[in-house]
Every structure is written in C-alpha cells, then in structure tokens.
Amino acid sequence: MVAKLFEALFGCRHSHYSFPITVRSRSRRNSAAALTGTYVACLDCGKELPYDWQDMKVITAAETAHRRVAALAAKHAA
C-alpha cells in the first residue's frame, strides 16, 4: 500500500532487478550497458540500469556522471 502510493507520487524506485546481463558485442551495446558493459532491468517498470559487477550494485545517475568525468580526466591525462 505504502509502496504503491510512493510509486504513484515519485515514480518507480527500481527495487526489483533482473539478474545482471553482460553485453559482449559492442555493436549491440545498449545505453545502460555503455558504461560497464553490464546492466540490470527493473522488473516493475522495465527500465534498464547500468550495473557494476565489481561493486555488485546498480550505478545511479550521480555515479554515472562522476565516472564519466573520471574517465575523461584519465583520458586527457594520458
């Protein structure tokens, strides 16, 4: 009941995930897997979210931005 109300007010919390899916072919890589090569799908709304196997957690939007900046900084430093 509370979860349904929360979902109606704020949208899906993405609390139920599929098993992480690793994309092997770069040509078929989707946007969620672009960062780590692995993604999970929300079983409630179907949204695909990037997943980090090393930390074993879903990567949030804030972490995505941080990782892109870090990758860009490393690229420019080299």
Q: Which residues bind Zn ion (CB under 5 A)?
A: 12, 14, 42, 44-45, 47
What are φ and ψ of residue 16, in 5° steps? -120, 120
Instruction: Give the span between the Cα atoms of 51 and 38, in whole angstroms.
Output: 5
Give the SS3 label for residue 65: helix
User: Shortest Cβ distance from residue 47 to Zn ion (Å)?
Assistant: 5
Closest CB 45 distance from Zn ion, rounded Å: 3
Measured from the CB atom, the residue of 42 and 58 that comes closer to Zn ion is 42
Output 19 or 75, the one with its CB closest to Zn ion. Answer: 19
